[in-house]
Amino acid sequence: MTEHNKLVRDHIPNLLRDSGKNIRTRTLDKKEYDESLKNKLKDEVQEYFKTDENEDSLKKLADLLEVIHALSYTHGSTIEELEHIRQHRRKEHGAFHNRTMLLDIEDV
């Protein structure tokens, strides 16, 4: 048996069972869930950096969004509220469309 000990999407256990795998799962408490989501976010970012193809990259970005959505709920928020905050910050600070690299700042 291969040990995984990682947070998986909701349908993964049934998909594995349906494919003939014997698996064991458990439900995480809130603290474990929060920590597992943070670890999952790191894992998904690392997976994104490993992709070369546009289609794979978009799938990994979708996976990242799913984790971000779950994290927003753990903070007592909604996707809509998170999007509102994102839009406000974008209006205030801009986006990344100009591809501007800040090289240095001289204190005066």
Strand, coil or helix: what is 73?
A: helix
Residues 1-54 pLDDT 10s: 899 999 999 999 999 999 999 999 999 999 999 999 999 999 999 999 999 889
Residues 35-50 pLDDT 10s: 999 999 999 999 999 9
For CA atoms 13, 17, 23, 26, the dihedral sign is positive
Q: Return d(Cα 105, Cα 29) in angstroms, integer.
A: 45
pLDDT of residue 1: 82
Residues 71-102 pLDDT 10s: 999 999 999 999 999 999 999 999 999 999 99
Report the predicted TM-score, pTM, of the whole model to 2 decimal places.
0.87
pLDDT of residue 90: 98
